[in-house]
Amino acid sequence: MFSSVPLISIIVPIYKVEPYLRNCLDSIVNQTYANLEIILVNDGSPDNCPQICEEYASKDKRIVVIHKRNGGLSDARNAGLDICKGNFIYFLDGDDYLGKEVISCLYNLIQAKENIAIAIGYFTAVYGNESKPYRKDWIFKKPHFIESNDFANRMLMEKSNFAATAKLYRRELLENLRFQKNVKNEDTLFIADLIPIIENNAYRCVDVPNYSYYYTQHAHSICNNENDPLERHVIENYNTIIQRFNNRSALVKYLKKRQFDLTIDLQSKYQKNGDINSSNQNAENIRKIPIIHVLRRKSVRFLLYYLNLRFSPKYR
């Protein structure tokens, strides 16, 4: 039935996303690109997600359901990668959803020129009934192509979508690559692992001005966990990446500046939440930030706090 077009695998990790799951699955089964393998990975979800997955699988033969013990987002994606059969692979989170032409759009662009390995799509942020661009600096009108020697900077310097989601990958890219387990902000490490594969094979990528990956913002998402702020994990992962790419001065300089910003943001969260122990521990990192970087934040309140940390005798 679909022999004229390649099979595309969509891998969906699912855990405690019951309020959003039907919307997600409806958006997949109604894609204009029909030759899909839809892999739903129930990561030990304790709600009704497993039943919803089976309900959809009973109605659509393209759907494959994996039920597994909870192992986290990376483990769920890896489970999908281990069984997928598609020529191309796409990651979608279970609380997000797609415009109906997303897969067709990315597929057409990945075929546009020779040796393109990834078609990079983009996000629209959804807040209840409202939506807006996820990042204004990512808005553009025409596709543009990324050469292999620019991929690292485009991704790690956040000039392009650096998440694992919203991208269409050629299968050969991911044959021997998996997400690192038991970490958060795993997408950043996944992209870092992709860099040598892209560079060593001189693969090209294409930035696609398609913003129909609808990224649902809600209080229970990993990004909004106030008890374990994501910034802490990003800072740690940047340390790993800086060590790996320590000979790339422009990239290292950018990542260190991002660490400074994230350290300041992290301190603000700790203080807001009244987490005194974490705030005191992070204060050691605040003292290491160059004063010029603090001045760029243009916050008099934080500048005074920083100066007190740096120069007060009780902190020496």
The answer to whether residues 284 and 136 belong to one domain is no
Whether residue 289 is contained in a domain is answered as yes
Q: Domain check: are 188 and 297 in the same one?
A: no
Q: How many domains does the chain have?
A: 2
- 247 in the same domain as 126: no
In sign, the C-alpha dihedral spanning 55, 56, 62, 66 is negative
Q: Which of 206, 222, 238 is the last residue of a domain?
A: 222
**Residues 2-20, mean pLDDT to the nearest whole number:** 92
202-215 confidence digits (pLDDT tens): 999 999 999 999 99
Residues 277 and 155 in one domain: no
- Whether 32 is covered by a domain: the verdict is yes
Q: Which of 222, 239, 259 is the last residue of a domain?
A: 222
Q: Roughly how many angstroms between the first and final C-alpha of the chain, as a whole number?
A: 72
User: Considering 189, 222, 255, which residue would you say is the last residue of a domain?
Assistant: 222
Quick check: is 1 in a domain? Answer: no
Whether residues 142 and 168 fall in one domain:
yes
Residue 267 pLDDT > 80 = yes
26: in domain = yes
Q: Are residues 95 and 172 in the same domain?
A: yes
**Residue 82 in tokens:** 């281990």
How far apart are the C-alpha atoms of 183 and 197, rounded to whole Å?
22
Both 261 and 159 in one domain: the answer is no
Same domain? For 170 and 298 the reply is no
Axis-axis angle for helices 186-200, 230-244 (nearest 10): 20
Which one, of 191, 296, 175, lies nearest residue 234 by Cα? 191
Residue type for position 40: L
Indicate whether 3 belongs to any domain: no
Looking at the chain, the whole-number percentage of residues with pLDDT higher than 70 is 95
* 226 — pLDDT class (breaks 50, 70, 90): low
Q: Which amino acid is at 187?
A: D
Q: Are residues 62 and 196 in the same domain?
A: yes
| pLDDT tens digits along 132-185 | 999 999 999 999 999 999 999 999 999 999 999 999 999 999 999 999 999 999
Residue 241 placed within a domain: yes
Q: Provide the domain limits for residue 238.
A: 226-315
Query: Is 118 a member of any domain?
Result: yes
Task: Assess whether 132 and 97 both reside in one domain.
Answer: yes
Sequence-distant (≥ 6) Cβ neighbours of residue 192 within 8 angstroms: 156, 240, 241, 244, 245
| CATH classification of the domain holding 86 | 3.90.550.10
Q: Are 271 and 198 in the same domain? A: no
pLDDT 10s digits, 77-122: 999 999 999 999 999 999 999 999 999 999 999 998 899 999 999 9
Whether residue 39 contacts residue 64, with contact meaning beta carbons closer than 8 Å, is answered with: yes
Q: Is the pTM of this model over 0.85?
A: yes
Q: Is residue 2 part of a domain?
A: no
Do residues 183 and 307 both lie within one domain?
Answer: no
